[in-house]
Every structure is written in structure tokens, then in C-alpha cells.
Amino acid sequence: MHINTLREAPAEAEIPSHVWLLRSGMIRRLASGVYGFMPLGYRSVRKIEEIVRQEMDAKGAQEIHMSAIQPAELWKESGRWFVMGPEMWRLKDRREREFCLGPTHEEIFTDIVKNEVSSYRQLPMNLYQIQTKYRDEARPRFGLMRAREFVMKDAYSFDRDREGLDRSYEAMFDAYMRVFARCGLRFRAVEADSGTMGGNASHEFQALAENGESEMVCCEACGMAVTTERARVADAPAETEAALPAETVYTPGTKTIEDVAAYLGLTRDRTMKALLFAVSGEDGALSEYVIAFLRGDRELNMTKLINCLGVPEHAVAFADEASVEAETGCVCGFTGPMGLRGCRVVVDSELPGQRNLCAGANKADHHIKNVNYGRDYTAEHITDLKLIRDGDPCPACGAPLKAARGVEVGQIYKLGTKYSESMGAYYKDENMQDRAIVMGSYGIGVTRTLAAVVEQNHDDDGILWPVSVAPYHVIVTIVKHGDAAQTALAERIYAALLDAGAEALLDDRDERAGVKFKDADLFGIPVRITVGKKAADGIVEYRLRREKEAVEKSSDDAVADALRLIEAERFGPAER
């Protein structure tokens, strides 16, 4: 077996899963955000794939396999050729036809059912694949967590109606709960935004991890969990005090909320903040300016703004100061909602209920006090733009929320008829009427799940694989290379394990015992059976990777105990 462990992780590795997967030699970096899997690593990938396959099959989903290369035309039909932005790898063939490397497969699968499904009798149906996906991430990082080439399981359900979709979605929700539990993850199913997928209901499956890139809030009182992007924030109660006359005041050099609040002796929640954006069109040229307003103590939730605008994320950028001032009449640092022109104004839903706030005057070094919605300004859009915070009240029950971080290992979407309508995927119902097929879409990041397992299961010496996804179950280590008694016993144990269907490694390398122990810890094989001095008496050391201490046992007991553990945890960890 080819093994190449590293004493030190490369500097690029910032989080434990990345460090340990590299140090144990399970993965190898080929380019920024592009990794290969070495023998031990690929065994674990295949185990996760097999868990996913079993749980998908158990729900009646059918495995297929589509190409990574996808013709641009399908993405133009669905409207996503533009929406996907620079994250989509695009390429041309030798005849200059446009293709992409699929970041996901809604278009391809919709096209399949469009061509192959005509009658209600063929529905419902769920098709899935375990396949390589591509995203040209702006900042690939954390190894497998945010990679540019990765393995994903993607499934698509096709139903006659909304009720069918609800059932399909439930089945997938259930399958996902089982998959991640079997992989040994501590995770949460979290209400999520559906982003560029479209549709109106979505859950993310978040493996809890300090270093996770996803932010969520959880309510310990009612159990609600939601991504920060998606979390509805309750407006402050409407105020009832009388509107005072608006008053322009000189506030020299107060470009930030902190400055102006301090200068005027106000708390931040008595002010309004403005955020200025430029939105570009499909040709990349400027299409409009957008100015968003929130109460001065709030932060903007960018996802909510983008959803409100109905444009792709990559089309929105901070506005260039000089241009936005020239076009809209705002003055950066002193932007307020009164007297703007030539821009879309979006106002947080809380502002209309607030009285006598202090806002920018659109004039350098000036603010206006006692600004009130309706009397002083109005807006095209009034919507919740607020970013939720640790401690905010739960929108369901009012108890204080707790912020948490996670690694998104899966996401499921109720797509509805977005794709079937745009791409023309219809079926004939019992009355021979054409109806749009109702779709759902369901993803699991297979290689990211591998990383999440390591992120949650490691110590200072290496990985602690759960039996269900470990590359091997048992490592049999010979302490002294070449010792006849040790070699004979180790080989007997190894053979007994293989005969019983366990996956075992025999470490018979000509290395010091310390090196072999260190490697075994690094690889995280759940059970180590060490054959040393007492080999002649049939006595070995038995150690579970997740426990500190080794125990002396007869070799027969060691084999029996290992097999018992494997049997118990092969299909997922026991309840803990």
C-alpha cells in the first residue's frame, strides 16, 4: 500500500479536516481547490457514496449517471446561463459551441423528463446520480470544504402535484437524516434560502463545526433552526409618538453611524443607515443603482436584498462613490432617503413603524433629524432586510436565539414548476390535460461530508473515523519487524479478520514501532491490534482509536471484540 504521511500540514491548511486529510496522505492538492484522493481517502469516499446509494435506493430513487459537460442551450432555456455568474466553468468545443461543467443538473434532468415522461402514469419518479461537479469558486479554501471539483449526489423528484412533491421532499428529508447519522455526523436540518435554485422551501443539512462557513441560528426553546441568510428578523414594535418637524443639522465629519450618533448624542437605533449598490445586467454593464435603508443598529442581510431585487448575486456590487453621487443625488457618508432620484430604494420593514429617526441629508456634513416614513420618504420595496444576531428573539416562539456555525453537507429544495415551465416539461393528467411536472432537487456534498466527518472526529494525533466510513476497520501492527512469533500471530489475526469480512490492514513495515503507532493514529483506523513481546503467549494490545488506553487481551478475544464493534457500527455509529 502506498502511504505518504506528512509531519507538517502545508501552510494553506487552516482547519483541522484539511490538516488531517493532508497529513494522513488521504488527499492531495492538484491545483487551488482541486484535490485527488489517495488509496485510504478514496476508500472512505466510496463508503460515503455507498451509504448515500443505499438510503436513496431505499426511498425508491433510481441511480443514473449524466455527463459533467452540459450544453449551454439548456441553461439558456432555464435562464441560468447568466444567473450562475463566474462560478460556472464555461468552455467551448473545437466548433466554438458553448458548454459548461455542471455545477448542478436541474436543466439536464428536466430535459430528460421533458423527453421521456408524457403521462401521469410515469409519475412520481426520483432520479439521482453520484457524480463530479464543478464550481469555479472565487476563494477556494479549507480543502474539500470549498473545492472547485467535488463529488456530489444530486437527486431530482418529479411529481404530478404539490402534494406529491411534499411526499417526495419528506422522503428525501428522511433519507438525508439517515445518511448523515450513518456517517457519524452531529448535524441539524435547518430552514434555508433557496438561492439561485428557485422554489419556495428548502432545508440545509448542517454538520456542526466551529470552522464551518455557514451561519445559522437555533432556538433551544422550540427547536427551530434556520440559516442566518434566511432567518426572518422580527421588526421592533411600531412606535406611537408624534412625528416631529424634520430639521437639517450640521454634523461635520460624521460619516459613520457611530460618528453621527455620538455627535448628536443619540443611540444608534435612532438613526438610519444607507447602503449603496450598483446592479449590472447580462452584458455586464450597469443596469441600476439600489439604495437600501435600515435602522442604524441593524446589519444588512445581503441574501434578503438580492431576493427582493430578483437579480443574481454576482450582479450586485457596492456602488462606485463618484458615479452613484452623480446619478442619484446622494452624498456618500451622508445618504438619506429624501430627495434621491434615478435609483431603486429598498427599505427595511421595520423603518415605517419607527418615528423621528436621524438620516443623512444628501449634503456633505449634514443630517436630518426627525425623518418619518410616509411624510418624508417612501420606497419601491419594503421588506425584511435585517441580519439576525445571536440573542435575537426566535421568530417562532420569541425565546432568544443562539448562533451556530456549520458545514453545509446537504440541501433539499422544493422547486415547484420553475424548471418544468421554463423548459417545457409537461405531462398529461387523467383527463389528458397538460400539466407542468412538479419538481424537487436534493444534493449531498459527498466529498464535503468526508471533510465534515474529519472536522468533527479528530484529536491532536489525527483522525477518529467512525466505523461506517473508516477506510479500514482494523490495523494490525507488528511491533518488531522480522520477529517470527509476532509476524505469525499478526498474520493469523489479519487472516481471521479478513475471513470474517472485516476490512483490515497489516502494518508489517520495516519501521520503528513508534512510527507505526503514529501513522495508525493519523489514519484514524477505529481498532488497533498491536502484536508485540507477548506474541508467543498469544497476547496482544487492543486499542480503540477513540479511547486513550490500550488493553491486553488474547488474540482471539481481540478479534472477537473487533468483529463485535464492526458489526455494531458498520451501518452507522451506535446511539451516543
Q: Which CB sits closer to its own copies, 327 or 507? A: 507
Q: Which stretch binds its own copies (CB under 8 A): 107-115, 385-393, 394-402, 492-500?
A: 107-115
With a CB cutoff of 8 Å and minimum separation 6, the contacts of 504 are 472, 473, 474, 475, 476, 494, 497, 498
Minimum Å distance from CB 446 to its own copies?
A: 11
Nearest distance, CB of residue 319 and its own copies, angstroms: 22
11 binds its own copies (CB under 8 A): no
Q: Give the separation between CA 167 and CA 475, rounded to whole angstroms.
A: 44
Shortest distance, position 496 Cβ to its own copies, whole Å: 21
| C-beta of residue 156 within 8 angstroms of C-beta of residue 116 | no
Q: Does 276 bind its own copies (CB under 8 A)?
A: no
Q: CA-CA distance, 215 to 212, in Å (whole number)? A: 8
Please pick, from the candidates 18, 19, 37, 81, the single residue that binds its own copies as defined by CB under 8 A.
37
Interatomic CA distance for residues 225 and 190, integer angstroms: 5
Contact 3, 26 (CB under 8 A): no
Three-state secondary structure string covering 349-360: CCHHHCCCEEEE
Among the residue ranges 34-42, 381-389, 478-486, 537-545, the one whose residues contact its own copies (CB under 8 A): 34-42
- Work out how close the CB of 180 gets to its own copies at its nearest, in angstroms, rounded to a whole number: 22
In the complex, the smallest distance separating the C-beta of residue 277 from its own copies, rounded to whole angstroms, is 21
Give SS3 for 78. helix
Contact 468, 573 (CB under 8 A): yes
Least distance (Å) between residue 111 CB and its own copies: 8
Q: How far apart are CA 342 and CA 404, in angstroms?
A: 40
Q: Which residues contact 170 (CB under 8 A, 6 or more apart)?
A: none
Alpha carbon distance 155, 53 (integer Å) = 11
| Least Å from the CB of residue 338 to its own copies | 40
Does 192 bind its own copies (CB under 8 A)? Our answer is no
Of 10, 14, 50, 93, the one binding its own copies (CB under 8 A) is 93
Specify the 3-state DSSP secondary structure of 570.
Answer: coil
Residue from 13, 38, 52, 454 touching its own copies (CB under 8 A): that is 38
Give the separation between CA 368 and CA 159, rounded to whole angstroms: 55
CB of 568 to its own copies, least distance (A): 24
12 binds its own copies (CB under 8 A): no
**Per the omega criterion (within 30 degrees of 0), is the bond before 39 cis?**
no
Q: How far is the CB of 28 from its own copies (least distance, A)?
A: 7
Residue 498 as a binder of its own copies (CB under 8 A): the answer is no
Which of 172, 182, 180 has its CA nearest to residue 412? 172
Site for its own copies contains 314 (CB under 8 A): no
Does 323 help bind its own copies (rule: CB under 8 A)? no
Which residue lies nearer to its own copies by CB, 67 or 248? 67
Q: Which is nearer to its own copies, 62 or 323 (CB)?
A: 62
Choosing from 21, 56, 84, 112, the residue that interacts with its own copies (CB under 8 A) is 112
Q: Which residues contact 39 (CB under 8 A, 6 or more apart)?
A: 1, 2, 471
Find the shortest distance in angstroms from Cβ 492 to its own copies: 22
Closer to its own copies by Cβ: residue 87 or 365:
87
402-416 and 214-218: which strand pairing?
antiparallel
Q: Please, which of residues 119-178 interact with its own copies by CB under 8 A?
A: 122, 125, 127, 132, 134, 136, 138, 148-149
Please list every residue from 62 through 91 that binds its own copies, using CB under 8 A: 62-71, 86, 89-91
457 contacts 449 by C-beta, under 8 angstroms: no
Instruction: Tell me how far, at minimum, the Cβ of 239 lies from its own copies, in Å.
Output: 47
Backbone angles phi, psi at 555, to 5 degrees: -60, -35
Nearer to its own copies, 127 or 218 (CB): 127
Binding-site size, its own copies (CB under 8 A): 50
Contact yes or no for 523/471 (Cβ under 8 A): yes
1 binds its own copies (CB under 8 A): yes
CA distance 152 to 135: 12
Question: Residue by residue, what is the 3-state secondary structure of 97-166?
Answer: CEEEECCCCHHHHHHHHHHHCCEHHHCCEEEEEEEEEECCCCCCECHHHECCEEEEEEEEEEECCHHHHH
Residue 461, burial from CB neighbour count under 10 angstroms (0-12, 13-18, 19+): middle
Q: What mask of x and - would describe binding to its own copies in positions 199 to 238, judged by CB under 8 A?
A: ----------------------------------------
Report the interface residues with its own copies, using CB under 8 A. 1-2, 4, 25, 28, 30-31, 34-39, 41-43, 45, 62-71, 86, 89-91, 93-94, 97, 99, 101, 108, 111-112, 115-116, 122, 125, 127, 132, 134, 136, 138, 148-149
